[in-house]
Amino acid sequence: MFIRDVVQIDRPFEAVAPRFLRDPAWLEPLLSSAAGDGMARCQRGTARRRADSLVVPIRWALESTAASWSLEGDLAIAPISVSRSAVTFEATYTLRDEGIRSGLGTEQAVAGSVRVFLSCLGRALHMDDGW
């Protein structure tokens, strides 16, 4: 299934985008808190530049055996204005156990986790003065 969500950040693109080019380990605590149960691992692919945005491939895998899904997609960082940016997460999720059926409950759990992740990400980027 496909999932998409976006968060706006009160920082310019030039301040936000470089953060995503560093070691992705800083994302793991945000992913773990969003998943709610267990540790999350983040694998980042090679970032690529579009006309006015940065696209970062990301794979979000949960170590918990209770979690039955993983996400793979792109974080796109783009300017909204001179002083604001948007981070959009577009991904597909896959179920670990083929016997599990995707349904409204699973979709809501994944969407909720993505929303929490982006909210935490927005707060972290807004409050981070150590650029």
Of the candidates 39, 46, 43, the one whose C-alpha atom is nearest the C-alpha of residue 58 is 43
Determine if residue 123 is left, alpha or beta; phi over 0 gives left, psi from -120 to 50 gives alpha, anything else beta: alpha
pLDDT tens digits for 73-129? 999 999 999 999 999 999 998 776 544 455 556 778 788 888 888 998 888 887 765
For 4-13, 17-26, 63-72, 79-88, which range has the lowest pLDDT when averaged over its residues? Answer: 63-72
Q: What average pLDDT does the chain have? A: 81
Measuring CA to CA, which residue among 73, 69, 48 is closest to residue 59?
73
Residue 45, helix vs strand vs coil: coil
The residue whose two tokens read 């807004």 is: 126
